[in-house]
Structure 1
Amino acid sequence: MTMTTISCCYKGNLRCEALHTPSGDRLSTDAPIDHEGKGEAFSPTDLVATALGTCVLTVMGITARRKGWRIEGAAVDVEKIMTSEGQRSIQALKLRISMPPELSDEQVKLLQRVVDTCPVKRNLEEGIAMEFSWS
């Protein structure tokens, strides 16, 4: 079992700081403007969308590295849609995935299949609608 600790601290004024203890890397969050914050940093739900986008790129990167392919420049734009009624939650995440043009159709098809192995996607798919488009 792999375990990582993220230490989170409330800094006041709806801002938090998170410490990735293995690396010492830090990030800050802020509540979004439509939820009493200033929107000056990622919101916690932005980090969920970010986790999905970066996880998709990471699992594709692992496969590409194993195959000896280069996918630098691959990109994912994640559109986060929040509910407008009831308790606030992420209603949907829409991903637009752009692949480097030098990849063959077969390479892209394999990378599309690999996306289903993304741990973040697998953890979110029962509670959040996700839509993937490729270019």
Structure 2
Amino acid sequence: MPTIKSSYLGKLRTESEHLGSGEKILTDAPKDNNGKGEAFSPTDLVSSALASCMVTIMGIVANRSNIDLEGMTWEVTKVMQSDPRKIKEIIIDFHWDNAPNDSVFLKKLKNAAKTCPVALSLDPQISQTLTFHF
């Protein structure tokens, strides 16, 4: 059974619907690749998916210790390669001001991030540069 149903809307834009929830995502080609850049590009979504997956897995680990990751934020920088055009590097800076002062727990969180399903699924040629500010 499909998970996502998508359609091409024209002018380098797509719409994808998550069939289980009805939530929708638009994509647009970036300005530097013939698009308007008015929505996430497909490669933006890959980069965002990596960070979101990492935080989701960290959240699962934190829940086991009755710790809430609320307040954690992150910034994602996507670096493209031009020939062939593809993602070269994804840089993620995680910030968590309320992190507990527990080096063993924080080490578990960092390891969880690095072993999330998206991280393990991406081509190893895509550098995943992570900085944890906690």
Give the structure-2-normalised TM-score: 0.92
**Post-superposition shift, 1:67?**
1.2
1:72 counterpart (70, 73, 77):
70
- 1:49-64 paired onto structure 2 within 5 Å: 49-64=47-62
**Post-superposition shift, 1:4?**
5.3
Q: Secondary structure at the match of 1:16?
A: strand
Q: Judge which range, 106-115 or 86-95, deviates more.
A: 106-115
Gaps of 5+ in 2: none
Aligned 8 A contact 1:72 1:100 in 2: no
Count of paired positions: 132
**Post-superposition shift, 1:105?**
3.3
Q: Secondary structure at the match of 1:54?
A: helix
Give per-residue Cα distances to partners, 1:85-134, cap 9 Å, x unaligned: x1210010111111233412322222111112200001115131111111
Partner residue of 1:104? 101
Name the CA distance, whole Å, in 2 between partners of 1:117 and 1:126: 13
CA RMSD of aligned residues (A): 1.4
Name the CA distance, whole Å, in 1 between partners of 2:121 and 2:74: 19
Name the CA distance, whole Å, in 1 between partners of 2:123 and 2:130: 12
Gaps of 5+ in 1: none
Percent identity, aligned pairs only? 41
Name the CA distance, whole Å, in 1 between partners of 2:2 and 2:49: 15
Partner residue of 2:21? 23
One-letter amino acid of the structure 2 residue matched with residue 73 of structure 1: G
Give per-residue Cα distances to partners, 1:39-87, cap 9 Å, x unaligned: 0000000000010010011001111112100110112211100013x12
Q: Secondary structure at the match of 1:81?
A: strand
Name the CA distance, whole Å, in 1 between partners of 2:58 and 2:123: 18
Name the CA distance, whole Å, in 2 between partners of 1:76 and 1:124: 19
- 1:8-19 paired onto structure 2 within 5 Å: 8-19=6-17
2:122 counterpart (114, 124, 127):
124
